[in-house]
Each structure stands twice: as C-alpha cells, then as structure tokens.
Chain A
Amino acid sequence: MSLKILNKPLTKFMLCILAIGFLAAGCTQEPAPEEEGPGGNLNKGNLTLTTTTSTYDSGLLDYINTIFEQETGLRVEVISQGTGAALETGKRGDADALLVHDRETELELVDEGYFVDRHDVMYNNFILIGPEADPAGIKSADNAVVALGLIAENESTFVSRGDDSGTHRTEMKLWENAGIIPDEEDWHLSIGQGMGDTLHLADQILGYTIADRGTYIAVKDNLELTLLFEGDPDLSNQYGVMAVNPDRHPHVEYNYVSKYIEFLISDRGQELIGSYQVESETLFFPGFGLE
C-alpha cells in the first residue's frame, strides 16, 4: 500500500526533482575539503563579493580572482551591481565582501559598524564624453565643474546614470559644486541604467555624459561620442575593499574575506591590478597606501 504510491508517475517525477535538489545542494553547500574545484585546484570554500559593474564588466575581477583562486583554493563568487545596491546588499549581510567606489559613504558605513577592514585598493578616473562637435565647448574648460557649467549654460543634453552608483554620486557632487540643480532641467536626462547602457543612450541622442574610463574603453569602438575632458582631481575614482562586519552578521566568511583583502593590497595583488590592460590601455592603477 505504502509502496504503491511510488509507482504513480507524478510521485516518480516529484522524487526525481527531490533527488536532483539534494544532489545540487550537496554540490554547492558541502564541498568535501579535498574535492577538486572547477579549475582543477583544491576548493576550500566560497566567498561572495558584491561589486560595481565597472570592475566586473572591464574583466579585471575575472583576471585577479582566477589567480587568487588558484593560489588559495578559495572561490570568489561575484555579484555585480551599482554601488548603492552593493552597499545595501552588504548592509543586509547578503554578501561577504565589497569592492565599491564611493569613499565618503564607505567610511560612514564603517563608522556605523556595518563594515570592517576597509582599504583603498585602486583608482582610475572619470571622464567627460560628448559629441565631437562639442556644442558646449567643454574641451577647453579649466576644470570639471566649469565644464558642467558650460553644458548647463548651453542647455546641451546630458545623460545621467541616475542610479545612485558611484559614477552618479560623483556627477551629483560636481553639479552641486557648480551650483546647479540638474533634476529640474529639461536637458538633464536621468535614466537609471548601467554605465554601458548610459553610454549607448548618450551616443544615440548625441548628448554629453560622465563615464569611468574602464567602461568607456571597453565600449568606445561602438560609440560616435569622444572623450572631451579629463584630468581634474575632482574626477578621480577611488575603489575600496571592505568586509561585512562579522559581529553584525556572524554567518559571513570573514576568514576568507581577510585572505582576499590581504591578497588585493599585497605587493603582488597591487602589481596585478596595475598590469591589467584592455586594448593596451591600463584601466586601474594600484591605490593601496596612497592616502
């Protein structure tokens, strides 16, 4: 009687699903200590890193993490989000480590006890992109604030990330310094999308935008827009790494994260960051201990 139910097709189907579920759970949650990882190395554990689209889309993290994984046997699982969402994910304890770029907010959140062990890791810079004709004439601007002022004066279309990312936050600080409230202006388009999408949208409507150098280099072959302004210290883009505070979220893999942070700020890690190139251009510069 009790075995009869096992012969029903639906029951069989459900049992199959259960069996697959158990197998899958076994694979991801309890890797035997000596188990061979996907790279042929010893897989000793996973850590989850939440980071911005710029570090991930540029390929930097794949490059560095592969080496870290080979040397330590730890596996880094990357979630790529905007900085705002990455910080929120970290605050909720849904990741173990963060690599983001909004220095001020990062330091505030460390003070509030959400994160620990924050270090500057690397930097690159933001650049102003626009149509070759440069109707607002920002090419010869003295600094980034003046450049944005010219765009506002000329009422040229400016496409904004509008997604609370590190890039968006930098843009908003520049507007503030220029004494402009762009959200009320018709020429300022806030689109709430990632860097690549924003560059493509700006390209379609021949508008200005601000971008991180890495993403720009990665997609510039498809763009009509060109680099018009760079080199202002206000446009520096500082990336920091930090761990989710294990006192607040005891389930995080703090030991693994410590190894990862040590690796990034070690001489070797810093050298790897500086040596990473796309189309023979350096995207990120070693930034540990520069303060």
Chain B
Amino acid sequence: MSLLLEGILEALRLITSFDPDLLQIVFLSLRVSVIAIVIATLIGVPLGAFLGLKSEKKTRLLNKIIFTFMGMPPVVGGLIIYLLLSRQGPLGVLGLLYTPSAMIIAQVLLATPIITGLTLVGIRARGTEIVETARSLGADSALATWTVVKESRLAILGAVITGFSRVIAEVGAVMIVGGNIAGRTRVMTTAIVLETRRGNFELAIGLGIILLILAFVINSFLYNIQTGGQDN
C-alpha cells in the first residue's frame, strides 16, 4: 500500500520535474499512437462502412476473420512485423526495424481490425435503413454511404477510442519491433516493463499513473466530440 502511495508521489514528482528524458518518452508514445490511430482510422472506417453495408451473408467469412484479428495477441502482431522487417526478412532492406516507423506499422496492424470491426457493427445496426431513406430522398450511392458514416459517427468514435486505448497501452509489439532503445524507441509502456524488471517499482507506478492521465485527457477530448455529436 505504501508503495502505491510512493508511486503517486513519484508520478507527481516526475510530472513537475519536466525531465527531458521523460518528456521524450511521453512524446514518442503519443506520436506513435496518434499516427498509428490516424492511419488505422483511414483504413478501418471506410472498410468497416463498406462491409457494414454489404449483405451479411456475402461477407460472413471476412467478418469472422476481422473479428478474430481484433483479438490478436500484440506479441504475435509484433512478431509478424518483426519477421517482415528483420534483416533476413522480405522488407529488411528498408532498414525500418527498431525505429518508430516499425512501431507505427505494428500498431496499425493491431488497431485496424478493431476500428474496422466496431465500425462494421455500428453501421450494420442502422446502415441499410439510412441508405434506403437517403436513396428515397434522391441521394446517389456515394452520398448515401457518406450519410451513413455521418449518422453512425458515435459508433465510429467509439471504435476509434477503443483502438486508441489498445495502442497506447500496448507493450508486447512495440517492445519487439522497437527494441526499447533508450532515447530512440523507448515508450511509456516499455519503460514501465523495464523499471518493473529493475525493481524500481515506484518509478514504474509513477509512469503508469502518467500514462493513465494522458489516456484520460485524450479520451475526454474524444468523448466531448462524441457527446457534441449527440446534442446535434
């Protein structure tokens, strides 16, 4: 119990110290996760919308595959990217292994199925109905699809929030493809694992608390957009 308290104090100390190493870790975490989630959204939302508007029977197998990948263990995702980017792997010549780019790629692989799957479910809930209404009002199919996406924005934001929560908290994949190199690819989660293994439990808890605070701030922002949508 006292250790938890010390952890909270450590978190406060870390936040107020503006330690450059810590800031670097925090910014890298945010940079990697935000870029990954933007890419995953750009892929996942259109794909989910497309599949959600297709008849369930035609896309059944694809849906099941996407739902399965939603539960892919991050370590497995990381390992796949590692094998692709490794010097002996097919994309080894790019020299991306142990760089933030590799971490972003791995996180896109983890987040895209989540955003696709949840968008798909959200759109399927009301999609056909909205499309029919829009069509009856004279919209072409592109406009009808856009209307569905707009009308399902709450579900889509929920999908993005879930995807973001997954990647900001993820440790297995970024450890494997990033390598946890101090000052280059060390992010908050890998730093927490390291400090736990070193036995620096206060520091690990302190970092954990900062991670939760960051997640709270970002989720509050997304949540406010979502509630704003509801008021309209």
Contact = CB atoms under 8 A, between A and B. Distances in A.
A191 B197 contact: no
A189 B199 contact: no
A190 B182 contact: yes
Interface stretch (A3-11, A37-45, A85-93): A85-93
A88 B194 contact: no
A191 B194 CA distance: 9
A89 B194 contact: no
Interface string B183-197: 110100011011011
B83 to A, nearest CB: 12
Contact of B199 (A84, A190, A192, A204): A84
Given A204-B97, A205-B98, A192 B87 contact: no
B175 A84 contact: no
Of B175, B193, B199, chain A has the most CB atoms within 10 Å of the CB of: B199
B87 A204 contact: yes
Classify the interface of chain B: helix, strand, loop or mixed: loop
Interface string B161-188: 0000000000000010001111110100
Contacts of B86: 204
B175 to A, nearest CB: 7
B199 A201 contact: no
B198 interface: yes
Nearest to B85: A204
Contacts of B196: 85
Contacts of A193: 175, 179-180, 194
A115 B184 CA distance: 38
Contacts, number: 56
Nearest to B87: A204
A87 B199 contact: yes
Interface in B132-174: none
A189 B198 contact: no
B182 A192 contact: yes
A193 B179 CA distance: 8
Nearest to A87: B199
B87 A163 contact: no
Contacts of B186: 192
B197 A189 contact: no
Contacts of B199: 84-85, 87-89, 164
Interface of A: 81-82, 84-85, 87-89, 162-164, 183, 189-193, 201, 204-205
14 contacts: A81-B197, A84-B197, A84-B198, A87-B199, A88-B201, A163-B194, A163-B198, A189-B184, A190-B182, A192-B182, A192-B190, A204-B86, A204-B97, A205-B97
Q: List 8 tightest A-B contacts by C-beta distance, closest first.
A: A88-B199, A192-B194, A190-B182, A164-B198, A85-B199, A84-B198, A189-B181, A85-B197
Interface of B: 86-87, 97-98, 175, 179-184, 186, 190-191, 193-194, 196-199, 201
